Chains A and B, each alone.
Chain A
Amino acid sequence: MSTTASFLDPAEVTRRMQTLNRVMTTKAAIAQTPKELVWTLNKAKLYRYTPVVPSEKRHPVPLLLVFALMNRPYILDLRPGHSFVEFMVKQGYDVYLLDWGVPGIEDKNLKFDDYTLDYLPRAIRKVKSLSGSNEFSLLGWCIGAILTTIYAALRPDDGLRNLLLLTAPLDFSKRDSLTFARWTDEKYFDVDKVLDAFGNMPGEIIDYGAKALKPIENYITNYCKLWDNLDNPLVVQSWHSMNTWVTDNIPMAGGAFRQLIVDFYRNDRLMKGELMFRGERVDLKRLRANLLTVVAQGDHITPPCQSEKIVSRVSSPDAEVYHVPGGHIGIMAGSSAHKRTWPYIDNWLGARSD
């Protein structure tokens, strides 16, 4: 923390301004864990991380990570020494990451149906083929948790052994607790008109929506924290990499965005058992895989009430809810993630991956 003297020293002030300029105008080195591109389909890419543990000591069941559609997945591999992927690879998992890519205007009709029934099963087939295992684990975060849950319910016999859900927005029944539900209510928000204009939902609008939930924290306090700690390289490095991720916005395919608003936020079709994908009803009772749902207690994007009910709706004999202090992103990428969330996930998954 800077002192009065440092504020009055011109050299110190210049140095601080240079640091500030650097972190605000450049991108941090992110996603450094060695990986190989093993499969592609349209914009989607499947990466396999290079194992660092000998094969005989590795868990035989591979792990596939599925992140949200409207953000970059490298939050799971933020920076060396602070990467969930790096941690899991070191714990002996065969880790794969599905990157949905950036949808173009030609993808504006892509829906959850397509991601769940066209992309995900094919990526899983590749994971199984490369790993040589008929069983696999899925980890879905945010919208990725919706996709993996639906997949697990629609294809329960595909070999899914473990399903991990992080801050999963699955239950939309408590509309009063959901700010997004209020904003996207049909009285105020004409989703068809917006998508007719843009095609895909622009990343900037989605980003504004996420930040506007806590405007002071995101637009002021965040920068004050950086200013106060400009002489602390660790804080600056951490802020820089997180800022790189936060400002790297991508649009969401129009069809999927419309579905998110209409089927999920407005009508809660998944929990009501009314969600239909290509004529097939998504019945959560068909989900039998071992289930761990991680809930962030301070999550303002996906409040805990959205993720807790799932365990009582599935048929999994082994289902658990784990509450972690922290926010939507902080529980996995925050400074205490490596002490709390990651080891818990490793212990839970490790016991079920051999």
Chain B
Amino acid sequence: MDEDHAESKTFDAFEKFREMRDAYLDATSKTMIDAVNSDAYAQASGAMLESYVTASAPFRAALEKSMIQALEQLSLPSRQEVAALAERFTNVEMRLDDIDGRLDEIVKLCTSLKILANEKQTTDDFTPRKKAKAASVPAKSKGKPSPTSAPSKQAVRKGRR
């Protein structure tokens, strides 16, 4: 017989106590759950909270009044004023967050535009001579440029002037 097994067989006076305690708590628990789930309990707890709130109201009002007066004497802002300031800070924070969001979008857009431009550049690098040749041939032969062909350097200079 190993040691653990021997220990488990040892008489434990508290085991019976624990069993009894757990059985008692289980039974009481069910009763208590029913009790708190009743209108009587709801009424009693509501009345308790109500009486606390009602009883403390004059003290709270007096304390608040004297505190406001004291803060005024000391040229310090009241709690309400600080709270109003905090609300304004939150509004500013929200606007900043929106700007941050828009900046994110702009950066994203710029990045995708840059990628597009790079892609276009790469494509142009591979096909410029063929295109230029194709565009210049009909202009030379017919004497006037086609609307789709690239303007000549001279035309661009004229335009700038």
Which residues of A does B touch, CB under 8 Å?
2-5, 7, 39-42, 104-108, 118, 122, 125, 129, 179, 182-183, 185, 187-190, 193-194, 197, 205, 212-217, 220-221, 224, 228, 300
Total interface residues on B, CB under 8 Å, equals: 45
Please give me the residue from chain A that is nearest to B31 by CB atom: A216
State the Cβ distance, B10 to closest chain A Cβ, in Å. Answer: 6
Q: Is B62 an interface residue (CB 8 A)?
A: no
Nearest 8 pairs between A and B by C-beta? A188-B46, A106-B86, A106-B83, A216-B29, A42-B90, A4-B13, A197-B53, A188-B42
Complex: A7 Cα to B17 Cα, angstroms: 13
Q: Name the A residues within 8 Å of B46 (CB-CB).
A: 183, 187-190
Please give me the residue from chain A that is nearest to B83 by CB atom: A106
Q: Are B37 and A179 in contact (CB under 8 A)?
A: yes
In the complex with contacts A41-B90, A106-B86, A182-B37, A197-B57 CB distance below 8 A: yes
Selected from A3, A107, A183, A185, the residue in CB contact (under 8 A) with B10 is: A3
State the Cβ distance, A209 to closest chain B Cβ, in Å. Answer: 9
Complex: A187 Cα to B87 Cα, angstroms: 34
Selected from B11, B21, B94, the residue in CB contact (under 8 A) with A122 is: B94
A to B CB contacts below 8 Å, 26 in the list: A3-B10, A41-B90, A41-B93, A42-B93, A106-B83, A106-B86, A122-B94, A122-B98, A179-B37, A182-B37, A182-B39, A182-B42, A183-B41, A183-B42, A185-B42, A189-B46, A194-B53, A197-B56, A197-B60, A213-B36, A214-B29, A216-B25, A216-B29, A216-B32, A220-B25, A224-B22
Q: Is B43 an interface residue (CB 8 A)?
A: yes
List the count of A-B residue pairs having beta carbons below 8 Å apart.
98
Q: Name the B residues within 8 Å of A104 (CB-CB).
A: 83, 86
As a 0/1 sequence over residues 5 to 42 of chain B, the CB contacts with chain A under 8 angstroms (1 = contact) are 00100111110001001100100110011001111011
Q: Are A129 and B104 in contact (CB under 8 A)?
A: yes
Q: Are A188 and B14 in contact (CB under 8 A)?
A: no
Q: Name the B residues within 8 Å of A2 (CB-CB).
A: 14
As a 0/1 sequence over residues 104 to 147 of chain B, the CB contacts with chain A under 8 angstroms (1 = contact) are 10000000000000000000000000000000000000000000
Q: Are B29 and A106 in contact (CB under 8 A)?
A: no
Q: Is B150 an interface residue (CB 8 A)?
A: no
State the Cβ distance, A205 to closest chain B Cβ, in Å. Answer: 8
Q: Name the A residues within 8 Å of B13 (CB-CB).
A: 4
A41-B93, A179-B36, A197-B60 given. 7 additional CB < 8 A pairs?
A4-B13, A104-B86, A106-B87, A179-B37, A187-B43, A194-B49, A216-B28
Complex: A215 Cα to B31 Cα, angstroms: 10
In the complex with contacts A182-B39, A183-B46, A188-B43, A214-B33 CB distance below 8 A: yes
Indicate the member of A104, A197, A214 with the most B CB atoms within 10 Å: A197
Q: Are B97 and A122 in contact (CB under 8 A)?
A: yes
Q: Are A7 and B60 in contact (CB under 8 A)?
A: no
Q: Name the A residues within 8 Å of B39 (CB-CB).
A: 182
Q: Tell me the chain B residues, 77-96 only, with Cβ under 8 Å from chain A.
A: 79, 82-84, 86-87, 89-90, 93-94
State the Cβ distance, A98 to closest chain B Cβ, in Å. Answer: 14
Selected from B14, B18, B45, B98, the residue in CB contact (under 8 A) with A183 is: B45
State the Cβ distance, A267 to closest chain B Cβ, in Å. Answer: 18
Q: Name the A residues within 8 Å of B84 (CB-CB).
A: 106
Q: Are B79 and A105 in contact (CB under 8 A)?
A: yes
Q: Name the B residues within 8 Å of A39 (CB-CB).
A: 97
Q: Is B50 an interface residue (CB 8 A)?
A: yes
Q: Name the A residues within 8 Å of B63 (CB-CB).
A: none
Q: Is B101 an interface residue (CB 8 A)?
A: yes
Q: Name the A residues within 8 Å of B22 (CB-CB).
A: 224
Q: Are B101 and A125 in contact (CB under 8 A)?
A: yes
State the Cβ distance, A132 to closest chain B Cβ, in Å. Answer: 9
State the Cβ distance, B55 to closest chain A Cβ, in Å. Answer: 10
Q: Are A190 and B7 in contact (CB under 8 A)?
A: no
Complex: A7 Cα to B86 Cα, angstroms: 56
In the complex with contacts A106-B83, A129-B104, A220-B25, A215-B36 CB distance below 8 A: yes
Q: Name the B residues within 8 Å of A212 (CB-CB).
A: 36, 45
Complex: A7 Cα to B15 Cα, angstroms: 12
Q: Is B47 an interface residue (CB 8 A)?
A: yes
Q: Are B42 and A224 in contact (CB under 8 A)?
A: no
Complex: A194 Cα to B50 Cα, angstroms: 8
Q: Are A3 and B86 in contact (CB under 8 A)?
A: no
Q: Are B45 and A188 in contact (CB under 8 A)?
A: yes
Q: Name the A residues within 8 Å of B43 (CB-CB).
A: 187-188
Q: Name the B residues within 8 Å of A197 (CB-CB).
A: 53, 56-57, 60
